[in-house]
Amino acid sequence: MISKGKLAQIHIAKAQLGLSDEDYRAILARKAGVRSAKELTNKTVGGVMHEFRRLGFEPKPAKKAGRKAPRPPRSRQREMNKVEALLTDAGRAWAYADGMARHMFKVDRVDFLDDNQLHKLLQALIIDAKRQGRYPDDLA
């Protein structure tokens, strides 16, 4: 059985394509050998979704998860901008930096770090970026 999210996506595709119930069930039978989407497995759902995309279904992108960026005082704005740039370059949300703050300093959010802790967190993000090849050595 597939997840509720995949099941919902199949029904959204059916509605977006304007398929009749008969056509919808024919696609399920042809691509997965089932009469109902509830009978799909993780192995067979891919073929059905591929067929829907071939017919013109365009899934909407997922909403961006995460929280708003912190609003630090001016004295810390420059370092927070660097943290934000490193997170964006790595494709990570502020929750990642919050998790680092919790792990490194037992502080819930980046907003609550003192200047020294914020500097160390920034250094850790730079080290990670260098390891991943996203940070040139001449800028360090």
Given pLDDT bands bounded at 50, 70 and 90, which one contains residue 2? confident
Residue 102 has which token pair? 């919790």
What per-residue confidence (pLDDT) applies to 107?
Answer: 94
pLDDT in tens, 45-67: 889 999 999 999 988 776 666 78
What are the residue boundaries of the structural domains of the chain, listed by start?
Answer: 4-54, 74-139
Residue 12's alpha-carbon distances to 5, 25, 49, 119, 124, in angstroms, are 10, 14, 11, 47, 42
Q: Decide if 50 contacts 10 (C-beta within 8 A).
A: no
Q: Decide if 55 contacts 17 (C-beta within 8 A).
A: yes
What per-residue confidence (pLDDT) applies to 1?
Answer: 78
Mean pLDDT of the 70-92 span? 91
Given pLDDT bands bounded at 50, 70 and 90, which one contains residue 133? confident
What per-residue confidence (pLDDT) applies to 140?
Answer: 47
What per-residue confidence (pLDDT) applies to 42?
Answer: 86
Mean pLDDT of the 32-45 span? 91
Phi, psi torsion values for 37, nearest 5 degrees? -65, -25
